[in-house]
Amino acid sequence: MILGTFLTAFNQTIMSVATPELMADLKISAATAQWLTTGYMLVNGVLIPITAFFMKRFTTRQLFQSSMIIFLVGTILSAVATNFPLLLVGRLVQAAGAGIIVPLLYNVIMKLYPPAKRGTVMGMVSLAILFAPAIGPTLAGYVIDILSWQAMFYGLIPIVAIVILGAHFYLEDVSETAPAKLDFNSVILSTIGFSGLLYGFSVAGNEGWSSTVVIVSFCVGIIALGLFTWLQLVSAEPLLELRTFKYGMFTLTNIINIGITIIMYADMILLPLYLQDARDYTAMESGLLMLPGAILMGALSPVAGKLFDRYGAKWITIIGIVITIATTIPFAFLTDSTSFSYLVLMSTGRRIGMALLITPIQTAGLNQIPLSLSAHGSAIWNTIRQVAGAVGTSLLVTVMTTRTNTHLQSSMANSGTNTEPQQHIIIEASIQGVNDAYFVIIIIAVISLLLAFFIKNNKQVLEEETSSAFKKLSESKA
């Protein structure tokens, strides 16, 4: 399951360094190309709420294998794509399979391990969930420089097939199934709600924040999500049990999770655009810049889990966010001469900070809820994470695009008509647009830091069913 999670997480960010090449190859804009990443995360976010129903209705093996098969189909479609629409369809099909994997894995962990050991186990899982998307751009950049962007998907096909085959022989069922009815009204409302918000953020850069299409998208999204929330609260068997938010630590850590997710995923889009468009670095060089941080992030994730089991989440999270802020500030002051080694150092520092805080806040939040709500808690956590990543990426690309145009218009109004100076002005405007987007990231990080001071290291008071469930599971294994 961890290997399957690694592959789906890795696949989520491999498009980041390929964005400039895709823009040239498929003749699309940056706002259009980012849909390959944000669309992937959006489908994840839309489908994850349904996983609580799936985990009740199907066995662990059935659900895992089905998800990986869907992911394989999407990978094949992406590999053979010759145009943007087909590539986007392939990515969305991939996301449909990948969206189920992570909450399923978290639910299995909640059922197999007691709270005192979950931090360490979550740290091992984070090795896949955090390390994979961080190393994805590096490997993807290497492949793109040698072959083509299609080769990234061809390389995934045999590995995914091996995971599916291995799950057939070795994966055991953890949870028991029960009859369940899917609430289609909730599915439709959540889909419309999340899609409306994301579409509004995505087109704001081109259409303007006050345009009719943006305002209508936001209104439709907010109304649909409001109706979805009301329906979950009055339903006897909700698609997503939103009453889990009555647990304070779960709610607080989810809010912090929104900020951290935006910080992590947006950077994977902004930095390659700066390096390849404004600085003429290759895709491979862009990926290599992120490699040291990816390695350290993977190595520190299990350590962060063990530190959580020993000390709790509060101060580990605070230290992690402080490191992240300190190493993000330099990215708000990029120039056309910022050294590569300096960028490597700061990028690595950001990954160290995020490695220290992601596992603790996640484990602290999930530990707060009773075992009977673990499936819903896992689904909610990952829904918020994916939607935050999608909306955050769209928002920051929109900020970058809007501010680049503003800087360009201002500079062009004060410049001559010489071709060479104009080209330099365009590059400078794009760098300033990236700087402004990173400044927004810093603001989000500071808000997350202030919220982290309210984290409590209280032990979870589990329901009586928790101990009996572990006892029953141990007896069945014996």
Q: What is the distance between the alpha carbons of residues 295 and 73, in angstroms, rounded to a whole number? A: 30
Would you give the DSSP letter of residue 175?
S
Nearest in space to 199 (alpha carbons), one of 418, 394, 435: 394
Q: What is the dihedral of CA 301, 306, 310, 313, to 10 degrees?
A: 20
3-class SS at 313? coil
Contact present, 231 and 238 (Cβ < 8 Å)? yes
CA geometry: angle 375, 159, 135, nearest 5 deg? 75
Residue 46 corresponds to which amino acid? V
Rounded-to-integer distance, Cα 164 and Cα 105, Å: 15
Q: How far apart are the first and last CA of the chain?
A: 23
Q: Is pTM, for the whole model, over 0.75?
A: no
> 459 φ, ψ to 5°?
-75, 145
Per-residue tokens: 394: 């769209």
Half-sphere exposure of 251 (CA within 13 A, CB side): 8
pLDDT by position in tens, the chain (length 478): 888 888 888 887 777 667 777 777 777 776 677 777 777 767 776 776 777 778 777 888 888 999 999 999 999 998 888 888 888 899 889 988 887 887 888 878 877 887 777 777 877 777 777 677 667 777 777 777 787 778 888 988 999 999 999 988 888 877 666 666 777 888 888 888 877 877 777 676 567 677 888 889 889 989 998 998 898 888 877 777 888 888 888 889 889 988 888 887 766 778 877 887 788 887 677 777 877 887 787 778 788 888 888 888 888 889 999 999 999 999 889 888 888 889 889 888 888 888 888 888 888 888 888 777 777 777 787 778 777 876 777 778 888 888 888 888 887 777 655 555 677 788 888 888 889 989 999 999 999 999 989 888 654 434 433 444 445 545 555 5
Q: What does the block give as tokens for 92? A: 């969305």
* Alpha-carbon Rg for the chain in angstroms: 22
Inter-residue long-range contacts of 3-6, CB under 8 Å, 24+ positions, other chains counted: 3/128, 3/163, 3/166, 4/64, 4/67, 4/68, 4/101, 4/163, 4/167, 5/101, 5/102, 5/105, 5/125, 5/128, 5/129, 5/132, 6/128, 6/129, 6/131, 6/132
